[in-house]
Chain A
């Protein structure tokens, strides 16, 4: 299903063409350039070097600033909220006043407090879902990419089937059967995140597997498992970091959407997605109870995406000199 490849490729492809003119040194001089040692530069391991490089970009800095702000609010929020999120402090859809700075929600609870307490779930659930998706995706992708047998085909075809559903429909399918439970939500979203990740990992693994240093390890008699972990895995850390960012953004959106649809956190919980749904009927009268959580979700998602973009740019710099002369 080559079109599916382009889904992953097109939606998630790092624009390798976004190299700045100066960085295009190798391409400019073609085969004329032999990278002679950049003696002065001391390189560290990928998962340290890459974020450090990424921080040089304004995009990363901006993204980091705004997402950290939201994270801080979500984490610290419950401790600084003026009221409990379940307390009724004013009239339903009340306008902002001295008691309730942003007014009351659909049941008269304090909007400020509910907002401050409502971020934790989105954050933690999306994070866990992404982690699940990453682990599953990496394992499946590595195995499929490295194995020379039928397993490879079976896994990839299986993933193709999963990819034939829009994500949210799949999660809804599961929920329809087993009910809207939080763990199910996270697991469902995580499972749907795995196939695209697996595809990316598969692609990179297959490419790396062909490189001579893998064969060199083989000739020394290193076991396949060890090769997968010590030779191949370190080479996919960079793309994986980018994938994590992309999928986290996606997970935030999906989990917020599911809560919005009423299948995530259930009332009376304070959750941004749920709040939006509960309060949208009174949108015209009391916009803040919708506007604020919407903005916060938006800022969080945008922030994570900006950081990911910065990391993706940095990755192109690191991978330039390796094995593709």
Chain B
């Protein structure tokens, strides 16, 4: 174990303006000692490129537009194509129906956080999964 910090990219795929969730979670992760790269609005290519450039351990996708299945699939496909899918933990949060949680996990998402999730749970989950 080194003293290197866990690096997280928080991104909003698409142009939906519901940012609050992403900001709240970002702040909590930063307060928990992680390094936060707040990507804001990014298209799929930008998400994957900045994840690689910033050498992140985690990508957080914040999605409230209903397009979570399509966007997440596209991010995962491109990460795979760039050969970095194995190195990055993907978590998804937002207004996502519980029916879709298994589908997201099936395509490779580590965990999904719907409305009412505790940010402390997100912090704990990331710390458990990323051992530095």
> Are A and B associated in one complex?
no
* Residues of A near any B CB (own CB < 8 A): none
